[in-house]
Every structure is written in C-alpha cells, then in structure tokens.
C-alpha cells in the first residue's frame, strides 16, 4: 500500500480536464444531431432477439425497467404527483435519449466510451456506485390543516388548496 499523499490537481489541470470533457460532450451532441433519424430505428441484433428489433425497442425496455415500480412511479401516483401526460412525456424523452445512446454505442464505440467517461465525470462523480435503494426518513408532513390531503415535506404550501404551511 502506498502511503504517499495524492497530489491535488492544479486549477490548470482541472480546467484542461473539463475542457476535454466538454469537447467530448459537444462531439456526441453533433454526432447525435446528424444521426437523429437513424438513431431511433437502427436495427438491434443480438442472440435471442426477434427480427426487426431496434435500439428504440431496447431503449423502451430499459426505460420501463429503470423507472417502473420505483420512487418515480410513487411520485406520479402520490397526492401532488404529476399527470399521466407528464409521465408519458418523461418516459418518451427518456426512451428517445436511451435510443440515441444505444445507437452511439453501436455506431461509434470509441466516442461512446469517451462520452461515458466525460458525462460520468461531470454529472455522476458523487453518486453512490453500490447503493440499490435509499429509504427516505420522512416523505410527508402529514395532512394539510385545511383540506386534509397529504403534503410533502419539501412543500411550503398545500398544492391542493394553496394553504401556506408553517414549520
């Protein structure tokens, strides 16, 4: 085991890394913009898949698998959740984005790998890589004093009747 202290990167090093990551993310955006039509319907071939499957079919399954029966669906069904139309918009946009990334993985694997590193570095650095569940300590304050509907702990007013809530 090495007991040497890890050197702190300089501002210039961090800036250069961020600049390189930004270039990768821009390259991915340009690639996907020029391949938008084909990214949704690109064929997906893998053993066991029926003929005619596309990366969008894969993306739909991944999005459904990632979001269905999770906390997101609890929020959707909750007392101040979002509408079916909003849930549909979220799922369609998630599926479309996953299809673009699945296409990128197939069409430009080196750019895809660079994207994973750059995007992960910028947005996922502090994410817990081992957790599979998180229990919330308190999800609701309880009933609104005026309308008696459940109110989330993060809200300052009741979304159902508009009553301001004191803490």
Residue pLDDT, tens place only, 117-160: 999 988 998 889 888 888 876 666 677 888 887 777 666 778 77
CB 26 within 8 A of CB 118: no
pTM of the model: 0.70
Reported confidence tier of residue 12, pLDDT bands at 50, 70, 90: confident
Burial state string for 121-134 with b = 16 or more CB within 10 A and e = fewer than 16:
eeeeeeeeeeeeee
């Amino acid at each position: 085991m090495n007991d040497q202290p890890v050197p702190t990167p300089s501002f210039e090093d961090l800036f250069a890394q961020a600049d390189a990551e930004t270039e990768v993310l821009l390259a991915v955006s340009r690639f996907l913009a020029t391949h938008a039509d084909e990214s949704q319907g690109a064929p997906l071939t893998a053993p066991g898949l029926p003929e005619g499957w596309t990366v969008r079919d894969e993306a739909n399954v991944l999005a459904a698998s990632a979001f269905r029966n999770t906390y997101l669906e609890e929020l959707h069904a909750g007392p101040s959740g979002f509408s079916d139309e909003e849930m549909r918009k979220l799922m369609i946009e998630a599926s479309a984005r996953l299809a673009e990334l699945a296409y990128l993985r197939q069409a430009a694997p080196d750019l895809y790998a660079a994207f994973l590193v750059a995007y992960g570095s910028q947005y996922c650095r502090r994410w817990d890589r081992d957790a599979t569940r998180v229990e919330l300590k308190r999800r609701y304050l309880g009933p609104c004093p005026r309308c008696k509907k459940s109110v989330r702990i993060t809200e300052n007013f009741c979304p159902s009747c508009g009553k301001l809530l004191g803490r």
